[in-house]
Every structure is written in structure tokens, then in C-alpha cells.
């Protein structure tokens, strides 16, 4: 019985990609990991250190040092920008295509009509640029934290409306639009006015709620990510199902990735709960691929809260030790990210960064996995590990791992 576990520390990049000066000048100099360690030079993450985090970072910062026995590399983002939704589709083997971009203003009429037809109370807020205000508790407009024009947000006060109702609103919006992602979310706010007070315009084209400033992340946060146009047949979960291997998705990845034949633990945000579920699934019998997303690091990045980010990394590090103790010879662990979100860069959006690629198996020795060109190399490696058909995209690095047992041991 073999386990392959991928832990995605959401937004934990290790330096701006080479194309950033041309495509995302606002991210020049970004380095989520490096800047957190510089801000807290005494921060020690012993498990990530052992796995080769500093090796992947490429320079020493603070008290942490390179590891002599690490199997490590980096991976570039093949998708445009830096997006959690597309990042996870890429990890699972999808070849990224250019995203559709449009401001919410282009679809506001259709969305407004559909909501009214479903008996929601809808107002427009704003002058030339407007967003929708539903039941005096929900704002619908452009996502200001992702790449502008690629995502629409439904931001809600869950003290005034239930999350099930917010999800229903999100499904109506999703039906009306074709951008890559619609995000329906909310938190427990003292007043719905906090959403209106956090409204902002960008570039004279986009209008929405600044989610970190509104306070929705601070208490009772719930979220569902609604994607568009993803072909699950070419991705890892389907390929593994065809080979008789179970897939378990935990956390944000379960909200955004297709897994019709497996187990998906959705609508989870708390890091400790997510890691507890991951450990529990590892300890169950049978072959399994587990992909887990740690979202709270990304939320700390959006809030530009370096201290919170560092504290969440400490929680992850302690739980990685528990996870590694449960893995058996022949099992495999990958720790990575999906993009960056440098809390020190001066804006609250994702940053386009290379990500660490840290691999561990019992008995593994030093391996350099190189600068991989796509996150999909992880998905390709998972499929080779289980002797399944390859996903649409990516090149396996399984043969580069120096260990006595690098393949799935079914039984």
C-alpha cells in the first residue's frame, strides 16, 4: 500500500519569476519566503529546513540553513499571472491556456436580471462604475486581489445571510459568466456596512470589495470556489481512478478541483483541522493520493500580515513532522506552493513567483530536481508513481529521486 501526499502551502513563493519585469512589474523583487525570514530572522521551521526550503530559496536568510540531504528544486508557473484556481489545475496536470479577462461591468446587467428573477433584492452601488448589493448583505463585483478581470467575487456578511444563500447567489453568477473563477465567501461582520466601506475602484475599469480591508477573513470565514471550463478527464484524479487508486482532496483544493470518484473535504480553512484530516487519511489502509491546501498562509498574504503568515508556517511545520512520522518506506511527500503572496511587497494581490519543490521519502538522499518549467510536473510524477496514465501536461521527476524504493507498492 502506497501513499503520495502533496501539501500545497498556498502562496509560499521563493522569488519572482524571470518574466515579471515584462508581465507583472508590480511584483518585481517579490520573495514571499525570503522576506518573511528577513522580517523574522529568528524564525526556525525545522522540518521545512530539513526538506530543503533554504536550498530551494537559493540563499540563506535568518537562522535557517540549507540541508545536505534534501531532494529539492523549484517550479515555475506555466499559467499567466499567479492564481490559486489555475495553479491547482496545473498541479493536477492541466495545460494552462490564456485566461478570459473582462470587468464585471460587462456582465452586471445579465447578473442583475438573473438575481431579480430568482427573487433576490438587488441594488446598484456606485456612479459610473457599479457593483451589485444583494439583500443588503452581499456585494458582487470584481476580485481586486487576483489578476484583474479574471475573477468575480461574492462577498457577504454571514451575520446577515446564511452561507447556503451566499452559495446560491454564487451559482446564479456562475451560470451567467465565463471568467475562470467565481468566489462566493463571507465572514461574521459586525455590520454589512463594512463591505460597502471597503469598496474600491482600480484602473478606472474594475470595482469591488477589498476583501482583507472589509474584515471578512477575520471571523467565521467560509468560501466556495466555482471554476469554469476545466476538463477533469485529463487530470490526475481521473487518471488514478482509472488505475484503481483513490484520491483525497483536503482544504481549498477540494473546493476548486474536480474529484468525482474520490473524497473531498470542502469548505475548510483552519490549518490544524486540515492537517489533522490529512494525517487521518494517511493512516487509513490502501493506496491513496492526497492533495492538501493550506489556505491561511494566502489569507495572511492578502492581509499583508507578516506575523500571521509566520505563525501559520510554524503550525504547518509541526504538522509536517507528524505526517512524515506516519509515512512508510515507499510513500512519498511533496511540499510546494501554487504562486506567491509577498506580504511585504506593498500590494495585497498574489505575486508571480517560482515555488519550492520539496520531496521526501523514508530513506531519501540528496537529489536536485532542477528548475521545473511547470507545476504539472508534480501531477505527472504522481501518475508515474502509481503506474497510471500520464495527465495532459507535465514531466515526471520520479527517476531523479535517490531512494531505495521510488515506486508505488500496491497491495
Instruction: Name the band, by pLDDT with cuts 50, 70 and 90, for residue 406.
Output: very low
pLDDT of residue 404: 57
The confidence score (pLDDT) of residue 224 equals 85
pLDDT tens-digit profile of 118-147? 999 999 999 999 999 999 999 999 999 888
Question: Cβ(302)–Cβ(10) under 8 Å?
Answer: no
For residue 324, pLDDT over 90 is answered with: yes
The upper half-sphere exposure of residue 29, i.e. CA atoms within 13 Å in the direction of its Cβ, equals 7
- Residue (of 222, 154, 220) closest to 190 by Cα position: 220
- Is 50 exceeded by the pLDDT of residue 368? yes
Cα-Cα-Cα-Cα dihedral of 333, 252, 321, 217, to 10°? 150
Is the predicted pLDDT of residue 238 greater than 80, yes or no? yes
Dihedral, CA of residue 266, residue 280, residue 338 and residue 203, to nearest 10: 30
Taking the CA atoms of residue 156, residue 158, residue 163 and residue 167 in that order, the dihedral angle to the nearest 10 degrees is -10
298-318 pLDDT, tens per residue? Answer: 999 999 999 999 999 999 999
Residues 342/351, Cβ–Cβ less than 8 Å: yes
Report pLDDT digits (tens) over 73-124. Answer: 999 999 999 989 899 999 999 999 888 899 999 999 999 999 999 999 999 9
pTM, 2 dp: 0.84
Nearest to 348 by CA among 318, 387, 306: 306
Q: Is the pLDDT of residue 409 over 90?
A: no
SS (H, E, C) 355-399: EEEEEECCCCECEEEEEECCCHHHHHHHHHHCCCCCCCCCCCCHH
Q: How far apart are CA 34 and CA 47, in angstroms?
A: 17
Question: 117: left (phi > 0), else alpha (psi -120 to 50), else beta?
Answer: alpha
pLDDT band at 402 (very low <50, low <70, confident <90, very high): confident
pLDDT of amino acid 411: 33
Q: Read off the pLDDT band of 384 (50, 70, 90).
A: very high
For 23, other C-beta atoms within 10 Å of its C-beta total: 11
Mean pLDDT, residues 271-288 taken together: 98
What pLDDT is recorded for position 405? 52
For the chain, what is the mean pLDDT?
Answer: 95
Per-residue pLDDT, 407: 46
- Residue 176: the pLDDT is 96
Report the pLDDT averaged over residues 30-36: 98
Which pLDDT belongs to residue 99?
A: 81
Amino acid at each position: 500500500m502506497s501513499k503520495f501526499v502533496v501539501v500545497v502551502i498556498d502562496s509560499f513563493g521563493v522569488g519572482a519569476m524571470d518574466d515579471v519585469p515584462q508581465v507583472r512589474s508590480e511584483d518585481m523583487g517579490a520573495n514571499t519566503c525570503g522576506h518573511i525570514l528577513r522580517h523574522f530572522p529568528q524564525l526556525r521551521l525545522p522540518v521545512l529546513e530539513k526538506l530543503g526550503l533554504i536550498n530551494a530559496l537559493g540563499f540563506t536568510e535568518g537562522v535557517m540553513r540549507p540541508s545536505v540531504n534534501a531532494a529539492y528544486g523549484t517550479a515555475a508557473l506555466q499559467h499567466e499571472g499567479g492564481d490559486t484556481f489555475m495553479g491547482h489545475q496545473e498541479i493536477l496536470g492541466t495545460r494552462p491556456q490564456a485566461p478570459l479577462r473582462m470587468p464585471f461591468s460587462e456582465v452586471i446587467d445579465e447578473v442583475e436580471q438573473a438575481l431579480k428573477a430568482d427573487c433576490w433584492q438587488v441594488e446598484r452601488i456606485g456612479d459610473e462604475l457599479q457593483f451589485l448589493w444583494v439583500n443588503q448583505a452581499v456585494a458582487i463585483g470584481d476580485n481586486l486581489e487576483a489578476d484583474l478581470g479574471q475573477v468575480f467575487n461574492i462577498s457577504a456578511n454571514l451575520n446577515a445571510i446564511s452561507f447556503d444563500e451566499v452559495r446560491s447567489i454564487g451559482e446564479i453568477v456562475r451560470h451567467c459568466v465565463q471568467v475562470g473563477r467565481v468566489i462566493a465567501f463571507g465572514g461574521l461582520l459586525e455590520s454589512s456596512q463594512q463591505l460597502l466601506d471597503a469598496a474600491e475602484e482600480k484602473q478606472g475599469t474594475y470595482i469591488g470589495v477589498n476583501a482583507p480591508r472589509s474584515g471578512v477573513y477575520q471571523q467565521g470565514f467560509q468560501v466556495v470556489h466555482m471554476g469554469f471550463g476545466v476538463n477533469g478527464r485529463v487530470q490526475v484524479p481521473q487518471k488514478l481512478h482509472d488505475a484503481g487508486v483513490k484520491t483525497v482532496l483536503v482544504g481549498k483544493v477540494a473546493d476548486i478541483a474536480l474529484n468525482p470518484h474520490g473524497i473531498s473535504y470542502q469548505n475548510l480553512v483552519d490549518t490544524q483541522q486540515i492537517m489533522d484530516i490529512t494525517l487521518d487519511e494517511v493512516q487509513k489502509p490502501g493506496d491513496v493520493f492526497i492533495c492538501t491546501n493550506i489556505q491561511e498562509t494566502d489569507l495572511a498574504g492578502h492581509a499583508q500580515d507578516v506575523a500571521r503568515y509566520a505563525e501559520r508556517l510554524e503550525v504547518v511545520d509541526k504538522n509536517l513532522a507528524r505526517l512524515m512520522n506516519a509515512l512508510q518506506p515507499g510513500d512519498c511527500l511533496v511540499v510546494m506552493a501554487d504562486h506567491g503572496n509577498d506580504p511585504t511587497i506593498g500590494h495585497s494581490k498574489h505575486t508571480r513567483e517560482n515555488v519550492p519543490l520539496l520531496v521526501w521519502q523514508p530513506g531519501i538522499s540528496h537529489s536536485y530536481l532542477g528548475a521545473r518549467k511547470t507545476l504539472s510536473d508534480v501531477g505527472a510524477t504522481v501518475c508515474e508513481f502509481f503506474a497510471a496514465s500520464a495527465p495532459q501536461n507535465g514531466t515526471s521527476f520520479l527517476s531523479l529521486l535517490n531512494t531505495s524504493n521510488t515506486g508505488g507498492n500496491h497491495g
